[in-house]
Structure 1
Amino acid sequence: MSASSLSRWTMAYFAAALFFLISAQVLMASGYGFPTASIEAPETLVVVHMVTIGWLSLLMCGALFQFVPVLVARPLRDSTLALPALLCLLAGLLCLLGGFLQTAGTIDLDIPFLAFGGLLLPSGFALVIWTIGRTLWSVPKSGLSLPARFVAVGLTCAAAAVALGASFAWVLSGHAPALAGTDVLAFGLPVHVAMGLGGWLGFTAIGVSYRLLPMFMLSPDREHGTGRFVLWAGASAWSFVLLARPFAVVSGSAALPTVFAGVLILVATVFFAFDLIFFYRRRRRGKIELNVKSAIGAFLALYCSILLILILVAAGTFAEHVDAVVYIVGFGWLTGLGLSMLYKIVPFLTWLECYGPVMGRVQTPRVQDLVVESRDRVFFTLYYAGVLLGTGALLVGAPILFRVATAMTLLATMAIVAELVVARRLVNVGGALRLPEGASRPRLFLPHWHAR
């Protein structure tokens, strides 16, 4: 990957995503939203969408703009749409949050925030899906790599989740009278959550892992039957999720497709575990870096969530503790993996931007010289300890303990973000290596306006 192939707005996506993550953690640590408020309360919806859209979706979009061209060995199509997409997503999210605050009575403005959010957010996601989808479509279908096919399925799930979310926003705003007589939320909310959190974010994260882990650990990256099975089992599972509600209308119950989807997801995660073990055991890099070590915590959180689901279902208490499951998936698995990958991706892109143009002509530092792993591993340990404590607090119904746990994850996240800023500013690179002749210090998150 050359410096010229860098996506101009990826760092802006990352910066916005981290802002929303920290903001959501501040609200949670202060007792705003669940569990102080009910799970369906507007305050809770504010925090949930700050995490799922503001943090995880912006992070995923920014990462895909950068790495999909690598997956398909093609330039990003319509790359100029990355900035309009970001602006639509940010404006739409702010309108959505404003609408929830209106519902909660926090703000009193005669502005249809929910309706605007239901228009701007789908527009932003449509631009993202169009750009990445066109890039994937430019490759013959037989030539798509395994991670690229995961991304394609994830984009389909994103489209379904966004369409449902937009319909919710329009119904709640009172601007969809044709749907006012139906209980749209009860009908589509489970599908919206499953397709958004599991399909778009979770399935795409698994697909990206099939590319990043071999790259970071120098493991064999050839496709295996297990990976293809994970792809097809997962894609089939999300198809059953989409069919669950229509099936319920016809038959009166969504149990059958729901069970099929659950079994397929369970089997897919088991086979994904085989591939993870293969990547770690067959790596050619003896000493793995901190980002890969920290990713182990995220993968453990994924399998702990699967085990927790099985235990709760067997005990008949899943509905009572679904909050704990969502928390460990959102913050243990997805956020843990996101922070771990950012710890490598940000220095890597910074190195390419700063030292790529002079590589081979002058002496340059290594990518890992931009960070200090011995110092930063403490922050990742603190983060996962906070997630584990927070999950336990939700299971036993201890809101004060949950706030303490969230404060732990907040402090760890702020420390990790500070380390990313330090890496971006080249603080850890000493002497003449910091800015050799011909190299220029990159901007924090905005591109150089003269760049092509």
Structure 2
Amino acid sequence: MLAATPSQARVVPLTLPGGFFLLASLALAWGAALLALNPEALSAYRHPVVLAAAHLLLLGFGVGVLVGAMHQLVPVIVEAPLYRPGLGYGVMLLWGVGVPLEAAGFLAGRPEWVAVGGGLVLLALFTFGVQMGLTFLSAPRWNRVATALAWVTFYLVLTPVLGLVQALAPRYGFYDPERLVWHVLAGLGGIFLLAILGVGHKLVAMFTLAHGVREEVLGLVLWTVNLGLLGLALGERTGGVLLAVGVGLGGVDLWRILKRRTRRALDIGVRHYVAGMGFLVLTLGALAVGNVLVAGTWFVLGFVGLVTTGMLYKILPFLVWTHRYAPRVGREPVPMLKEMLPERAAYLAGVLFALGALLAPGWPQALWLFALGTLPYTYALWEVVRR
């Protein structure tokens, strides 16, 4: 577990995941502000503001936190050192320039900016994929959480490839709207659904001190979600059924973990995770009745937003404490890990995020609640870093 391996955690400099978390938080604030200032954009999924905000919230915030965390998490899970940690700074630079360039391209109606930004992001995530792949190859043992992260790495590379093809297609006369569906499926399902269900299996068990939870259900989740995404990409309705089954199995896996927990009170990270899973159920319900825009809003703002912020509230304090205070333990007074995060601010942010996400489809002005949530969220993380 992360908390049991501080020596491994120090192998990766704090500035690497910390840099990704900082840039991701800026993308969150920009994307949330765009939606709040342009609530009418939710009426059309091809609206420039929606496209820009979706890339900021998903490719900027969600992927930024995920990639930053994987630099720290993968070596612990596979029990092998990260291959050339310095590569991460190049990944951060390319991704950190590419994402805002894409967003600006959507807003300004400049497809060439979108293509260049997408190319930079593709190069960044391809480099990250090579780095992760070589780390995986050095693993002395394997488990299903590692398998989930390997799949996530694959989709992290595939998604920008499909997006770049889509951006270049009108210019060269081979545009196909079906490829947009593939891009969305690879991004939402391949990256975020697999990452949250896969990494959540490990982190929720760790945060709740759950022991003896077997990984067979997680293995079934990986099979059903991947087959479901493939089916949907091929236009098969059974793909949707398999995807729903995968989500259901993810819920069963979460229930089994919580049933075996020894820490009865759920901490802030787990509460956010459970609330995010509730939004995932709402997303499936909206898809079942054919309301794609509502489903997308609940998935991005509710599911990804709550789970990602909740996990960050746990990961960042641990990293800061490990790098800054662990070497001083026993020699001078140091703060306890649970004292690192101002939880009232973090919970307030969670409430605003959840209400904004829940109400936005029927009352777009609620996007201001979501945007306001970025203020206590930023304060909470700043206090962690400042201590």
| Shorter-chain TM-score tier | over 0.9
Work out which of the residue numbers 70, 93, 100 in structure 2 matches 1:64: 70
2:16 corresponds to which letter in structure 1?
Answer: W
Aligned partners of 1:221 and 1:292: how far apart in 2?
18
| 2:305 and 2:353 in contact (8 A); partners too | no
Within 5 Å, give how 1:185-224 maps onto structure 2.
Answer: 186-220=177-211, 222-224=213-215
Distance in 2 between residues matched to 1:6 and 1:78, nearest whole Å? 10
Q: Are the counterparts in 2 of residues 95 and 113 from structure 1 also a CA contact under 8 Å? A: yes
Kindly tell me: are residues 272 and 118 of structure 1, through their superposed partners in 2, closer, same or farther at Cα, counting changes over 3 Å? closer
Question: What is the distance in 1 between the residues matched to 2:118 and 2:330?
Answer: 50
* Post-superposition offset of 1:79: 1.3
Q: Distance in 2 between matches of 1:123 and 1:375?
A: 37
Residue 343 of structure 2 aligns with an amino acid whose one-letter code is E
Structure with greater proportional helix content:
2
Equivalent residue, structure 2, for 1:163: 161
**Over alpha carbons, which structure has the higher Rg?**
1
> In 2, Cα distance between the equivalents of 1:412 and 1:30?
15
Change beyond 3 A, Cα 1:262–1:168: same
Aligned residue for 1:262?
240
* 1:241-298 deviation line (CA, Å, top 9, x unaligned): 45x1xxxxxxxxx3xxx32221111111111111111111211112222222222211
Unaligned runs of 5+ in 1: 105-110, 245-253, 313-317, 394-400, 427-452
Q: How many residues align structurally?
A: 380
Residues 344 and 46 of structure 1, relative CA distance in 2, 3 Å threshold = same
Q: Which residue of 1 aligns with 2:309?
A: 339
Alignment of 1:386-397 (within 5 A): 386-391=356-361, 393=362
Distance 1:168 1:221 in 2: 45
| Separation in structure 2 between the aligned mates of residue 27 and residue 4 of structure 1, nearest angstrom | 37
CA shift in 2, pair 1:266/1:124, >3 Å: same
Query: Aligned equivalents of 2:200 and 2:115: distance in 1?
Result: 36
- Residue equivalent to 1:18: 25
Q: Aligned residues: percent identity?
A: 24
TM-score by length of 1: 0.80
TM-score, scaled to structure 2: 0.92
Note if contact 2:224-2:242 (Cα within 8 Å) is conserved in structure 1. yes
Give deviations 1:128-179, integer Å, cap 9, x for gaps. 1111121112225xx322111111112222222111111122234x3xx3xx
After TM superposition, the structure 1 = structure 2 runs for residues 353-372 of structure 1, keeping only pairs within 5 Å, are 353-372=323-342
Q: Which residue of 2 is the match for residue 87 of structure 1?
A: 93
| Structure 1: distance between partners of 2:58 and 2:344 | 31
The one-letter code of the counterpart of 1:85 is V
What amino acid does structure 2 have at the position aligned with 1:308? A
- 1:172-220: CA deviation from partner (whole Å, max 9, x where unpaired): 4x3xx3xx1x332x12011110111111122112111011101111112
1:23-47 CA distance string (max 9 Å, x none): 11111111167236x3213332212
Give the counterpart letter for 1:11 in structure 2.
G
2:267 is matched with which residue? 289
Q: Distance in 2 between matches of 1:331 and 1:112?
A: 28
- Aligned pair 1:379/2:353, yes or no? no
CA deviation digits over 1:209-243, x for unaligned, max 9? 0111011111125433222211221222233345x
Structure 2: gaps of 5 or more residues? none
Give the direction of change, closer, same or farther, for the CA distance of 1:25–1:164 in structure 2 (3 Å limit): same
Residue 402 (structure 1) aligned to one of 350, 354, 364: 364
Shift in Å, 1:372 = 3.2
Task: Find the aligned partners of 1:9 and 1:30 in 2 and give their Cα distance.
Answer: 32
